[in-house]
Amino acid sequence: MIKKMSPSESDFDIPAKNCYRMVILGSTKVGKTAIVSRFLTGRFEEQYTPTIEDFHRKLYSIKGDVYQLDILDTSGNHPFPAMRRLSILTGDVFILVFSLDNRDSFQEVQRLKRQIYETKSCLKNKMKEHIDVPLVICGNKGDREFHREVRPDEIEQLLAGDDTCAYFEISAKRNENVDRMFQTLFSLAKLPHEMSPDLHRKSLKTKKVKDAEAYGVVTPCARRPSVHSDLMYIKEKAVGGAHGRERCVIS
């Protein structure tokens, strides 16, 4: 299968081994979309708009190789459990977000973390309690610490014994710890650390784009692949990663 790219993307095919999906999960109003906005544009949107589901795509050129990162910003209401499960099955790296001033949102992250491991275990036909899933948990709204409802020891308990999970207290509004969080996530997933916004932005400032070792561009009007394409992707993963020999697919 060959991934057809629009002229605005480029005239090349991207190997499936260089294609990844990042899924952001959490309750409503915890700042998921604000984190995505920081990642894609470096800006913070003051106005709140409820997310049903947003899909973005970013392409990278890193030291001569091309990478594709799809970003799925999910709804905090999850009205369709089957679609939530599909998002988890197709995700390669995850960000779970709660608000430090909202205990219910932290409890939702606890549930989501369990659901991710249970769902991924079923996919890989493994019965052990934990599998390797690159995941970062974010306590957002660190600029409002005086309203804090989640204790540090509760967070430590959530992370205990999990080497592929990290925790950061961030402020998407003030852009505190956001870049560091993305660097850690990509490191856990063994992805190029240049995917982190601050690193490929620096490359653009110091070199011409055509000579840069790392730069990224957001693809306009990207559409989420169809459910059929997602199911085929999951099937290929389940039979041992046969998709790694194919090309990325856009439906």
How confident is the model over 100-148, as pLDDT tens digits?
Answer: 999 999 999 999 999 999 998 877 665 445 578 999 999 998 876 667 8
* Nearest residue to 185 via CA among 16, 22, 15: 22
62-188-246 Cα angle (round to 5): 55
The token pair at 14 is 């991207």
For residue 161, what pLDDT is reported? 81
Distance (Å, whole) CA 73 – CA 40: 12
- pTM of the predicted model as reported, rounded to 2 decimal places: 0.83
Torsion of the alpha carbons at 80, 86, 87 and 93, rounded to the nearest 10: 150
Q: Tell whether the model's pLDDT for residue 166 goes beyond 60.
A: yes
For residue 93, give the amino acid letter.
V
Question: What homologous superfamily does CATH list for 18-241?
Answer: P-loop containing nucleotide triphosphate hydrolases (3.40.50.300)
For residue 31, give the amino acid letter.
G
Most confident of 26-35, 46-55, 79-88, 141-150: 26-35
Give tens-digit pLDDT for 62-79: 888 899 999 999 987 766
For residue 172, what pLDDT is reported? 92
CA–CA distances in Å: residue 129 to residues 121, 164, 239? 8, 13, 21
Q: At what angle are helices 178-188 and 197-206 packed, to 10 degrees?
A: 110
Domain edges within the chain: 18-241
Name the more confident of 235 and 174.
Answer: 174
Average per-residue pLDDT in the chain?
A: 80
